[in-house]
Amino acid sequence: MRRPLQSPALINAFYDSLRPEQRDTAQAMHKAIVSAAPLLRPEVKWGNLCFMNDGDNVMAIVLYKMHAHLQIFNGVQLVSEFPELDGAGKGMRHIKIRYRQPVNDQLVRELTLACLQAWGRSSPRWG
């Protein structure tokens, strides 16, 4: 079953609900992701901003009290190329970005492109 596209108003409401330091960090990450892969569609899921490709979860911005995570759903495939990725488990990895510190735009763009390349090779189906 196809899901309707989420309206930009829902994305704006997500940002409106954040503290200023969270908003700045999340918007910087969002901008870097979209600049690298404009095909990714942002969607609010589980209270986080997820980026979708053909219905699959690819990346997510997850906000915590003191920092944000950029979660890569197929991050386990990228660990050898990006030692900055943290986490354990079956597939997901993340990088931690502290609020009020600059977002490494280049790293976020490179992770986005590598994530999509790995996604294209393996074509996993996440829910």
Per-residue pLDDT of 62-97, as tens digits, reads 999 999 999 999 999 999 999 999 988 888 999 999
User: 26-66, pLDDT tens digit by residue?
Assistant: 999 999 999 999 999 999 999 999 999 988 899 999 999 99
- pLDDT, residue 119, reads 80
| pLDDT, mean of residues 88-108 | 93
Helix 20-36 vs helix 105-122: crossing angle, to nearest 10 = 50
Give the pLDDT band (50/70/90) at residue 1: very low
Sketch out the chain's domains with CATH numbers. 8-121 (3.90.1150.200)
Q: State mean pLDDT over 8-14.
A: 88
Say what the pLDDT of residue 88 is: 84
**Of the candidates 13, 3, 11, the residue with the CA atom closest to the CA atom of residue 42:** 11
d(CA 73, CA 57): 7
pLDDT at residue number 118? 87
15-47: b or e for each residue (b if 16 or more CB lie within 10 Å)? eeebeeebbebbebbbebbbebbeebebbeeee
Average pLDDT over residues 97-102: 95
